[in-house]
Amino acid sequence: MASDSATVSPRTRGEKLVTGGWIAIAIAIPISCILSNATFDFSASLAALSMITLCAAFACWPKLFIAPMLNFRTLCDSVPRGSQIAMSLFVGLTVLRGFVELAA
Protein backbone atom coordinates (compact mmCIF):
# COMPACT_ATOMS: atom_id res chain seq x y z
CA MET A 1 0.00 0.00 0.00
CA ALA A 2 2.86 2.36 0.71
CA SER A 3 4.32 1.73 -2.71
CA ASP A 4 1.08 2.93 -4.31
CA SER A 5 1.25 6.31 -2.61
CA ALA A 6 4.90 6.76 -3.59
CA THR A 7 4.07 6.59 -7.30
CA VAL A 8 1.30 9.20 -7.14
CA SER A 9 2.44 12.46 -8.66
CA PRO A 10 1.61 15.71 -6.85
CA ARG A 11 -1.36 17.65 -8.14
CA THR A 12 -0.72 20.56 -10.45
CA ARG A 13 -1.93 24.09 -9.76
CA GLY A 14 -4.80 23.64 -12.20
CA GLU A 15 -5.94 20.45 -10.52
CA LYS A 16 -5.86 22.17 -7.14
CA LEU A 17 -7.88 25.05 -8.59
CA VAL A 18 -10.52 22.72 -10.05
CA THR A 19 -10.73 20.76 -6.80
CA GLY A 20 -11.08 23.97 -4.81
CA GLY A 21 -13.84 25.17 -7.12
CA TRP A 22 -15.87 21.98 -6.68
CA ILE A 23 -15.36 22.09 -2.92
CA ALA A 24 -16.56 25.71 -2.89
CA ILE A 25 -19.70 24.73 -4.80
CA ALA A 26 -20.29 21.82 -2.41
CA ILE A 27 -20.05 24.24 0.53
CA ALA A 28 -22.25 26.87 -1.13
CA ILE A 29 -25.15 24.46 -1.72
CA PRO A 30 -25.99 23.79 1.96
CA ILE A 31 -25.34 27.42 2.91
CA SER A 32 -27.83 28.60 0.29
CA CYS A 33 -30.35 26.01 1.52
CA ILE A 34 -29.92 27.22 5.11
CA LEU A 35 -30.22 30.89 4.20
CA SER A 36 -33.28 30.45 2.00
CA ASN A 37 -36.66 31.10 3.57
CA ALA A 38 -38.29 28.05 1.98
CA THR A 39 -39.86 25.40 4.19
CA PHE A 40 -38.12 22.06 4.73
CA ASP A 41 -38.74 19.70 1.84
CA PHE A 42 -37.39 16.15 1.94
CA SER A 43 -37.15 15.89 -1.84
CA ALA A 44 -35.26 19.17 -2.14
CA SER A 45 -32.91 18.06 0.63
CA LEU A 46 -32.19 14.84 -1.25
CA ALA A 47 -31.53 16.86 -4.40
CA ALA A 48 -29.10 19.13 -2.55
CA LEU A 49 -27.36 16.13 -0.99
CA SER A 50 -27.01 14.43 -4.35
CA MET A 51 -25.54 17.59 -5.87
CA ILE A 52 -23.02 17.76 -3.03
CA THR A 53 -21.94 14.17 -3.75
CA LEU A 54 -21.62 15.01 -7.45
CA CYS A 55 -19.36 17.94 -6.55
CA ALA A 56 -17.31 15.60 -4.37
CA ALA A 57 -16.96 13.16 -7.26
CA PHE A 58 -15.60 15.86 -9.54
CA ALA A 59 -13.39 17.30 -6.79
CA CYS A 60 -11.73 13.88 -6.41
CA TRP A 61 -11.08 13.72 -10.16
CA PRO A 62 -9.94 17.15 -11.43
CA LYS A 63 -8.11 15.73 -14.47
CA LEU A 64 -11.49 15.16 -16.10
CA PHE A 65 -11.80 18.92 -16.63
CA ILE A 66 -8.16 19.68 -17.35
CA ALA A 67 -7.04 16.92 -19.73
CA PRO A 68 -7.87 17.92 -23.33
CA MET A 69 -7.74 14.37 -24.64
CA LEU A 70 -9.48 11.62 -22.72
CA ASN A 71 -9.11 8.00 -23.67
CA PHE A 72 -12.72 6.90 -23.43
CA ARG A 73 -11.83 3.21 -23.76
CA THR A 74 -10.02 3.25 -20.43
CA LEU A 75 -12.03 6.05 -18.82
CA CYS A 76 -13.73 3.80 -16.26
CA ASP A 77 -10.41 2.19 -15.34
CA SER A 78 -8.82 5.52 -14.47
CA VAL A 79 -11.55 6.85 -12.14
CA PRO A 80 -10.18 7.34 -8.61
CA ARG A 81 -11.74 5.31 -5.78
CA GLY A 82 -13.14 8.36 -3.97
CA SER A 83 -14.78 9.55 -7.15
CA GLN A 84 -16.33 6.11 -7.74
CA ILE A 85 -17.84 6.12 -4.25
CA ALA A 86 -19.21 9.66 -4.64
CA MET A 87 -20.69 8.88 -8.07
CA SER A 88 -22.35 5.75 -6.68
CA LEU A 89 -23.84 7.81 -3.85
CA PHE A 90 -25.05 10.39 -6.37
CA VAL A 91 -26.85 7.74 -8.43
CA GLY A 92 -28.35 6.15 -5.30
CA LEU A 93 -29.60 9.47 -3.93
CA THR A 94 -31.03 10.44 -7.31
CA VAL A 95 -32.93 7.15 -7.54
CA LEU A 96 -34.16 7.58 -3.96
CA ARG A 97 -35.38 11.08 -4.79
CA GLY A 98 -37.22 9.68 -7.79
CA PHE A 99 -39.04 7.21 -5.55
CA VAL A 100 -39.86 9.99 -3.07
CA GLU A 101 -41.30 12.09 -5.89
CA LEU A 102 -43.37 9.15 -7.13
CA ALA A 103 -44.73 8.47 -3.66
CA ALA A 104 -45.65 12.11 -3.03
- Is residue 57 exposed (0-12), middle (13-18) or buried (19+ Cβ within 10 Å)? buried
- Domain borders along the chain are 12-67+74-103
CA distance 85 to 33: 24
pTM of the model: 0.71
What pLDDT is attached to residue 8?
63
* H or E segment and range at residue 76: none
Q: What is the pLDDT of residue 66?
A: 74
Burial of residue 15, with CB atoms counted within 10 A of its CB: 0-12 exposed, 13-18 middle, 19 or more buried? middle
- Summarize pLDDT for 1-24 with one digit per residue, the tens: 444 445 566 778 888 888 898 999
pLDDT tens, residue by residue, 23-70: 999 999 888 888 888 777 888 888 888 888 888 888 888 877 777 666
Longest Cα pair distance anywhere in the chain, in angstroms?
A: 51
Identify the pLDDT of residue 1: 44
Q: For residues 98-102, give the mean pLDDT.
A: 86
User: What Å distances lie between residue 43 and 31, 89, 99, CA to CA?
Assistant: 17, 16, 10
Closest of 68, 71, 55, 52 to residue 18, by C-alpha: 55
pLDDT in the model for residue 18? 86
Whole-number pLDDT of residue 3: 46
